[in-house]
Amino acid sequence: MVTSMLSAQIRTETLLSPDGNMKMTFSLSEDGTPNYSLSYSDREVIQPSCLGYTLRGDASPKDPMTYMRVSYDTVDMGSGFAFVEAVKSEFDETWEPVWGEESHIRNHYNELAVTLAKKDFKGKAGKDVQMVLRFRLYDDGLGFRYEFPTQDNLKYFIVMDELTQFRMAGDHTAWWIAGDYDTQEYNYAQTRLSQIRETLPKMIFNNASQHVVGPTAVQTSLQMKTDDGLYVNIHEAALVDYPTMTLILNEEDLSFKADLTPDATGYRGRLCAPCTSPWRTVMVVDDARKVLASRLILNLNEPCALEDVSWIRPVKFMGVWWEMITGLRSWAHGSRLGHGANTENVKKYIDFAAEHGFDALLVEGWNEGWRDWFGNQKDEVFDFVTPFPDFDLPGLNEYAHSKGIKLMMHHETSSSVVNYERCLDDAFAMMKKYGYDAVKTGYVGDIIPYGEYHYGQFMINHYNRVLKKAAEYKIMVNGHEAVRPTGICRTYPNLVGNESAMGMEFRGRVLPHHVTVLPFTRLQGGPMDFTPGIFEMDMSKINPNSKQQIHSTLCKQLALYVTQASPIQMAGDIPENYLKHMDAFQFIKDVALDWEKSVYLAAEPGDYIITARKAKGADEWFVGGVTDENTREMTVDFSFLEPGRKYVAKIYTDAKDADGVNNTIDTGSEACVKYEIKEMKVTSKTKLKVRMAPSGGFAISIK
């Protein structure tokens, strides 16, 4: 243990979780440095770690009449504090999300709020500046945040650095993606903490916009496992009006330090009291399944801010999309490849989607701008209201509505956010006029305003601004390339989807273990529009010029609809590929989108996940299982079913000779689409052995 950094503690406060298993200790050292530590069953999880900030203030406004610049002094808000008070409380409620993995969520924690005062705040000698540290300790983890109350001596201020540390107690195994201010679309590495530096360069590949933070920087949610079997997960909750946190590892003491995404001028945040930071979270559980069952992130968000949520609905959709992703056709009208979103083609999709009971059809490339949009940092690209000449916007909406489905709007912003914000009202008004109720947004490329990053405070405010504005128009949002979610969907449940990680569009680049990690990390903050359901793994079958080969069995694709819960789920492939496997397609048609409860049957990050979920408002269960590159034989225990009742289960499993890994172009792609479907009767006493092929999986529907 490094003791040199810790002075004698002059004030200590402890907080226990409701079950008494976890203990958080807050201390203020002799020199006024605040720190905290965390233990689980007397096992040290977070060693004493720094709290605080380097700020620039006092930024309290000058008289406007003087027309003078405010001068900012740097202020150390990481030491020199005096203790003011500590207040403890308990909270226990159960709330009902609009949609989600379960219909009722318990929010039960003990709270400690420590008020500190900085004696020597520059420029205001003799007057204190107060900061509150609020800790909430749950049975499955800790959340804490900084609060700056309304006060005379601090109003506007700049965050130069957030000092928050997470000093880990050992060289844990971690599942991580590289820290980047502009993209989250990387594969996960599984290494010891001490191996991050040597591994990180191998995990980087070229992206449309990227800014790698540093040689030991990783993103949250960061899943770790200790050698004695604890699962530790660091993330943040309720990211509002604040930059996104990256974690930078100091290998000397195995501590992570918060790194806030800078703005174009290098500042890490611009705040105005009263205000708070997001919650910094440390989940600690002794079973990987409990990570998946944790609602820590959602619980630390504010309750629903929308009065009327009746218009928010789960959506199962198809898209005029995969044929562009695979390079068969183009988003752009006039392209030599041909334009995907032409009226005739869209009608075919509408027919197919309607026939098979889908709710909506996404159409990308419907609007002017696609000829010349990418990579040029062009301000005015799209206007979001002008269709290409071959896309009959009113007619196609009418046609879709006549068949009982809606079109899903697509707003690729080309990351020209200034332009999107100018156009937003007109764009949403047009959507409402023609009957769209959901939009997929996109932020491909470097951000305009120039110099801003995808995860800086300006963009965080933008994403939330779009959510609020969309709610005014009763529009659901599915944000792509937006920031990784932090549970905001509790407050704005019209945020029905996010990409914010590598999805199926990356095709052959997606490593087999990817989907065994996502529910531990990316999905902790909210659902993902992963776009599963790819039935043809050999891209050359769609586009002869593509050599891409997806490393997954067909059954694994089915399982994802269950293992990765989301109120919106896409069937990503083209109709022609579903027509070849209509028996397997039945699972996608059947699977529910919103859940009464979820049971995590088996899980280990990077290895496998088996999840069972009961549909909300229906007497149906669905089970999904996925594995990494290794074949596995596992037993599904049906004890989640109501005892004494008999159910019929339809089971979709990898065939014996199925293989999701060894299916390169050379070896042929047939192995990955070999599957078996059988029906059997099951009860709560059934135990079923299931074999998953390499990068395989299985799916079960139970009625």
Applying CB under 8 A, which residues contact a second copy?
59, 61-62, 64-65, 67-70, 155-156, 206-210, 263-265, 267, 270, 272, 324-325, 327, 330-332, 370, 372-379, 418, 421-422, 424-426, 444, 449-452, 458, 461
Between CA 424 and CA 430 the distance in angstroms is 10
Nearer to a second copy, 70 or 579 (CB): 70
Nearer to a second copy, 270 or 551 (CB): 270
Contact 473, 429 (CB under 8 A): yes
**In the numeric block, which tokens belong to residue 525?**
């903050």
Q: In what order do the strands lie in the sheet with 697-702?
A: 595-604, 608-615, 621-627, 697-702, 647-654, 675-682
Q: How far is the CB of 338 from a second copy (least distance, A)?
A: 13
Q: How far is the CB of 235 from a second copy (least distance, A)?
A: 26
Q: How far is the CB of 324 from a second copy (least distance, A)?
A: 7
Contact 520, 527 (CB under 8 A): no
Q: How far is the CB of 451 from a second copy (least distance, A)?
A: 4
Number of Cα atoms under 13 Å in the Cβ half of residue 329: 20
**In the numeric block, which tokens belong to residue 362?**
């996404």
Residues whose CB is less than 8 angstroms from the CB of residue 416 and which lie 6 or more positions away in sequence, other chains included: 377, 378, 379, 380, 381, 382, 448
Nearer to a second copy, 377 or 664 (CB): 377
Spot the catalytic one: 101, 102, 185, 505: 505
Q: Is 505 a catalytic residue?
A: yes
Nearer to a second copy, 331 or 675 (CB): 331
Nearer to a second copy, 292 or 477 (CB): 477
Max CA separation in the chain (angstroms)? 81
653: left (phi over 0), alpha (psi -120 to 50) or beta: beta
Contact 256, 234 (CB under 8 A): yes
Nearer to a second copy, 146 or 506 (CB): 506
Nearer to a second copy, 451 or 575 (CB): 451
DSSP 500-515: -S--GGGGGGS-TTHH
Backbone angles phi, psi at 160, to 5 degrees: -85, -30
Q: How far is the CB of 424 from a second copy (least distance, A)?
A: 8
SS3 422: helix
Nearer to a second copy, 60 or 173 (CB): 60
Q: How far is the CB of 374 from a second copy (least distance, A)?
A: 4
Nearer to a second copy, 539 or 672 (CB): 539
Q: How far is the CB of 230 from a second copy (least distance, A)?
A: 39
Q: Return the amino acid letter for 13.
A: E
Contact 323, 542 (CB under 8 A): yes
Nearer to a second copy, 85 or 426 (CB): 426
Contact 673, 617 (CB under 8 A): no
Q: In what order do the strands lie in the sheet with 245-250?
A: 9-16, 22-29, 34-40, 43-50, 165-168, 255-260, 245-250, 217-219
**Which one, of 243, 191, 246, lies nearest residue 218 by Cα?**
246
List Cα–Cα distances, 314 to 226, 298, 377, 386, 466, in angstroms: 37, 18, 35, 28, 20
Q: How far is the CB of 200 from a second copy (least distance, A)?
A: 19
Q: How far is the CB of 422 from a second copy (least distance, A)?
A: 5
Q: How far is the CB of 75 from a second copy (least distance, A)?
A: 16
Contact 106, 79 (CB under 8 A): no
Q: What's 194's DSSP letter?
A: G
| Residue labelled with tokens 């002799």 | 30
List Cα–Cα distances, 636 to 189, 247, 624, 690, in angstroms: 28, 37, 10, 7
**Which one, of 524, 527, 566, 464, lies nearest residue 235 by Cα?**
524
Between CA 646 and CA 352 the distance in angstroms is 34
| Residue labelled with tokens 């007619």 | 395
Contact 589, 608 (CB under 8 A): no
Which residue numbers are catalytic?
505
